[in-house]
Chains A and B, each alone.
Chain A
Amino acid sequence: MTLSLNQVTKHFGAHTAVDHLSLSIPESQIFGFLGANGAGKTTTFRMILGLMDTSEGSIEWNNEAIDYSKSHLIGYLPEERGLYPKLTVKDQLIYLGKLRGMSKQEVISELDHWLERFRVPEYKNKKIEELSKGNQQKIQFISAVIHKPKLLILDEPFSGLDPVNVEQLKQAVVNLKENGTSIVFSSHRMEHVEELCEHLCILHKGKPVVHGGLKEIKRSFGKKNLVVHADFDLSYLRDIPGVVSYRAVGEGCELQVEAEEVAERVFEALQGRGFVRTFDLEEPSLNDIFIEKVGASYE
């Protein structure tokens, strides 16, 4: 069950929201979608779900177009959260579950299981408006996964949750993946993407600027981070050719270097100056890559 996007483009009048995006998302994988606000993530999701038509290009899942006949195989957690405020958790999920092709009994037994898992069984007969925002989000997550979808789209699933809840949800996402669900998710939080995704794509103004496996992306990025902690002044290191940036920190400095050879040169330059407590060459973080590709204007 592979999801593939071929040269997908979406225009809104003169504005191009998504520009020739091609992706392939294999089964049982978590695919990360990164991008600044307005980069076209939600629009892409809406096109995948068939809520909007593409201006150009095509989207296929298992070599077929996605339409409403497949909605029982698809789960969706929209970025803008929303449930019926006046309905109870149970009634709400029965309705949404039925629309995804489940029977009432199935919904109830699955719901009990999920509420137990998130340790909130007492919410079953409460109205949504009585729940806290974080708990509403859990219910919303349940509504997206209760029918055991084969394709799950999560738009910013962890925003606004406390660390304990983030952990619970992450675990649930990983379990779903292990049970064969393909998951596409977007986030602003690089560490979540780094932790969960094998493959990712960074969108910038509708264009994919980085695309591929997490390891390859990091390796091909080239630049590496170098942390040096020493007792003497390190500011002369910034003049070594190949050092891209220099940042002084309390115990020493953090450098960005163009390649591993530069790190060797830095290592040599440190000799005979004094005691070096730390010399650590690190892979670049996703955060570094994102900033580099999308622009430092993004916080």
Chain B
Amino acid sequence: MNKFWIVMSHTYFSRLKSKTFLITTGIILLLIVALTNFQSVMDSVGSDDEESAQGPKVAIVDETGQFITPLKEQLSAQQAELKLESYSGNEEEAKQAVQEGEYRGVLTLQTSEDGIPSGTYYTKQIAENSISGRLQQALQQVKVSVATEKAGIDQQTVNGIFSPVAFEKVALDKEAKTEEELSEARGLVYVMLFLLYMGVIMYGNMIAQEVAQEKSSRVMEILISSVSPVTQMFGKIIGIALLGITQFGLILLVGVQSVTANMDNLQGGIFTYFGLGDANTSTLIFAGVFFLLGYLLYATLAAMLGSLVSRTEDAQQVVTPMILLIVAAFMIAMYGLNAPETTLVTVTSFIPFFAPMLMFLRVGMLDIPWWEVGISIGLLIGTILVLAVVGGRIYRGGVLMYGKGNMVKSFKRAFQLSKKES
């Protein structure tokens, strides 16, 4: 056991001190700080700018002059920050003004015979459509009110027609999650799925690389003459896991700090959407459990695969099938976020390689019996144990094996090399 700690701490500290790790973590932390402070940075930069205070200026060329006021009313009702200005010149002059940058765009309004307004919006590039979209929406409202007025329907009736229908969802199961709980859970599940996905790909790759590197530098033979391959394999896996916890911990710490500092700007935004404000404790515990098991499963697989190749260049190639497996699990989970009760999600939540993501998704979003979770976790632990035993054997044979061959052959050879008798 003592040697396990030596391998683990060596793996942890040599990685922790490496430039690659420090730089990567630094960049991620900077990105997080930048993202969470985005709003305040933008505000402070743009506050002197007259345009941003009142919104972009748009010129209106209105033949009749009767639409600009209702249009302005509509826009202010929508809280759209647009500044409309009646343009006194003709259309060509207005377009010229847009080209010169005086206005963001120009909206010309026409009236048909029966008094219905129509508009044309001119701007430098039509790729940006947030302004034109708002204008269109406002004009639509104006058109409706003009048309209904003509038809002799009063404003009250119109509002009645257009107001949204009252519709409420109520779950009959007592334990089922309420609407708010669901959207909260969805946020948490989403975050956790993403973390698991990122974590497994990053650290799985790291493990495979590390093993292949020790093989390619041929230091492996000395290592396995002093410490058993299985101890070494798990020392490495746990060492990298600690590294991951350190890295994610730092990210979370800085993230939370930064988010709290910018609470006002983010209120009602992304933060509430993810429902991190007051997450359910049991969901958090399940998140931890499934994350840990998922990591162990994929890390063992990665170490085993890494031991089959003899050059770091090949490590990438050999973990590809594993990455595809994770991507598949992630895709199913993304689909499952909006349809957690489908058969596909239910079935895959019992398949060990998908279970960490999909069973967690079900636990987080549905009310499922404890024995289903139990079976899934049991299967997961069982698979990890089997993989550990098989992986240990493969690792033991694989680390002595050099040269190139296809994967199936390598598997067989590695197994043969580690056999007790043949």
Interface residues of A (CB under 8 A from B): 11-13, 46, 49, 51-53, 55-56, 68, 71, 74, 76, 78, 80-87, 91, 95-96, 98-100, 143-144
Interface residues of B in 1-24 (CB under 8 A from A): 3, 6-7, 10, 14, 18
Bound-state CA distance A46–B214 (Å) is: 18
The answer, yes or no, to whether B419 is at the interface (CB within 8 Å) is yes
List, in ascending order, chain A residues with CB within 8 A of B221's CB: 51, 76, 78, 80, 82
Do B225 and A74 touch across chains, with their CB atoms under 8 A apart?
A: yes
Question: Which of B10, B222, B227 sits near A78, CB closer than 8 Å?
Answer: B222
Interchain nearest-CB distance for A199 vs B (Å): 23
The answer, yes or no, to whether B262 is at the interface (CB within 8 Å) is no
Do B225 and A82 touch across chains, with their CB atoms under 8 A apart?
A: no
Do B416 and A82 touch across chains, with their CB atoms under 8 A apart?
A: no
Do A55 and B421 touch across chains, with their CB atoms under 8 A apart?
A: yes
Closest to B421 in A: A55
Interchain nearest-CB distance for A185 vs B (Å): 15
Bound-state CA distance A87–B416 (Å) is: 33
Interchain nearest-CB distance for B133 vs A (Å): 55
Interface residues of B (CB under 8 A from A): 3, 6-7, 10, 14, 18, 214, 217-228, 231, 400, 416-422
Closest to B215 in A: A82
Bound-state CA distance A143–B221 (Å) is: 12
Bound-state CA distance A143–B226 (Å) is: 11
Q: Known A52-B400, A53-B421, A55-B421; judge A71-B226 contact (CB<8 A).
A: yes
Interchain nearest-CB distance for A153 vs B (Å): 9
Do A78 and B218 touch across chains, with their CB atoms under 8 A apart?
A: yes
Closest to B224 in A: A51
Interchain nearest-CB distance for A157 vs B (Å): 14
List, in ascending order, chain A residues with CB within 8 A of B227's CB: 68, 71, 99
Do A99 and B224 touch across chains, with their CB atoms under 8 A apart?
A: no
Bound-state CA distance A98–B9 (Å) is: 11
Q: Known A13-B416, A95-B10, A99-B6; judge A49-B225 contact (CB<8 A).
A: yes
Closest 8 CB pairs of A and B: A82-B218, A78-B221, A99-B226, A76-B225, A80-B218, A82-B219, A71-B226, A82-B217
Question: Which of A11, A52, A86, A143 sits near B222, CB closer than 8 Å?
Answer: A143
List, in ascending order, chain A residues with CB within 8 A of B419's CB: 53
Question: Which of A12, A51, A56, A84 sits near B219, CB closer than 8 Å?
Answer: A84
